[in-house]
Amino acid sequence: MKKVTLLVVLLLCATIYAQKFEGLAKTPPMGWNSWNRFRCDVNEKLIREAAQAMVSSGMRDAGYVYINIDDCWHGGRDSLGFVYPDSARFPSGMKALADYVHSLGLKFGIYTDAGWQTCAGKPASRGYEYQDAIMYAKWGVDYVKDDFCFADSLSAIGSYSTMRNAFYSAGRPVVFSLCEGGDHKPWLWGKEVGHLWRTTCDIYAAFDSLEYHNNWNALGVLRIINLQKSIRQYSGPDHWNDPDMLEVGNGMSVNEDRAHFSMWCMLAAPLISGNDLFHMSKETSEILNNKDAIAVDQDTLGISGFAYSENGPIEVWMKPLAAGDWAVCFLNSGRETKEVNFSWKGNIVTDTLTNRVLNPGKDKYTIMDLWKHKETGTTDKDFSAVIPSHDVVMLRLSLKK
């Protein structure tokens, strides 16, 4: 009896002091997820080919490392309650698939749900958190996206904390992505639980519109951007606001894809592509592989950008970077081409979150256009540009020595 009591006490202590694995996401995670393009049409061949394409397209070298399977991989649970994959779709099993992904210098991610079943009706983790964490560790999983469908009146922080504790108990470090759609304001509590948390309901491949469903809505890119403006202070190294996966290459115009990607970089958002990696256009590849823009997203300070000014459809976004640099993005959210004029010396920019100051009247900065990949002068001269509808000009300002 004493032994049993001692074991219970030890288990309770382990749960109380469990924590997320620190230091796994010092910059926003980058990778690919199957859902936006393939939905439930996932199988072993697709994931292997996606991993191969990640390498051959140059995306791995640009920083994308996670290959993540979303919903519908599940087969069922065995007599002991352990989850197993659909054997018709994944005949070699998840361990072999993870080993293959790892052999390419990539990391392997998987999907679950905190409720009774996943959004697609597959076996979810409610009541099986520790068993699932054990299986994921055995398979070699590096990243887990945890949805919140069919969760009834569950506490989001309680459910996700249980899963976090289960990962810690299983002993394999995993990046933990909380995906409850922002309904429970995860930015207020997610830092202690996961590495990133969804801030809104699902994205879809549209720039400024709303897609209605029976009991939820999908949001276009611009609507999601607008919802990020008041929560930037909650994001930073190892704890990121997540405005959802990228829709670059999924049907928007090149201008809109470029604006979408640029703004995710300005927000210091996770860059999880959701396109068909095997049939990318030249334009899609160039956007996803823009290392100058990616460097803004992956900046070591981990500061989310902020909307500095708005003049009609033109928004000016600012983002402090390491080494005294700044990223500046001019976003044309309107449906017509607009001319932009901006006086560097006439604008002293103070980021009240970090107390960083951009003062071109005092300091001179060189200007790099991050989509043209060339220097365009200094802040001694006012900025002017013509920006097409739903497009951006994205700049990096570097202190001139």
Residues 214 and 244 grouped into a single domain: yes
Residues 178 and 85 grouped into a single domain: yes
Written in H, E and C, the secondary structure of 277-302 is HHHCCHHHHHHHCCHHHHHHHCCCCC
Q: What is the pTM of this model?
A: 0.95
**3-state secondary structure at position 141:** coil
Distances 362 to 190, 323, 327, 365 between C-alpha atoms, Å: 39, 17, 18, 10
**HSE, side-chain direction, 13 A CA sphere, residue 178:** 32
Residues 121 and 228 grouped into a single domain: yes
Examine the fold and report which residue of 276, 297, 318 is the final residue of a domain before the chain moves on: 297
Range of the domain at 198: 2-297
**3-state secondary structure at position 383:** strand
Residues 376 and 256 grouped into a single domain: no
What is the distance between the alpha carbons of residues 283 and 255, in angstroms, rounded to a whole number?
10
Residues 325 and 277 grouped into a single domain: no
Distances 72 to 89, 110, 120, 164, 204 between C-alpha atoms, Å: 10, 10, 7, 22, 19
Q: Tens digit of pLDDT per residue, the chain (401 long)?
A: 444 343 333 334 444 457 999 999 999 999 999 999 999 999 999 999 999 999 999 999 999 999 999 999 999 999 999 999 999 999 999 999 999 999 999 999 999 999 999 999 999 999 999 999 999 999 999 999 999 999 989 999 999 999 999 999 999 999 999 999 999 999 999 999 999 999 999 999 999 998 988 878 899 999 999 999 999 999 999 999 999 999 999 999 999 999 999 999 999 999 999 999 999 999 999 999 999 999 999 999 999 999 999 999 999 999 999 999 999 999 999 999 999 999 999 999 999 999 999 999 999 999 999 999 999 999 999 999 999 999 999 999 999 87
Write phi, then psi, for 31 (nearest 5 degrees).
180, -150
- The strand pair at 271-273 and 210-212 is best described as unpaired
Which amino acids are annotated catalytic? 147, 202
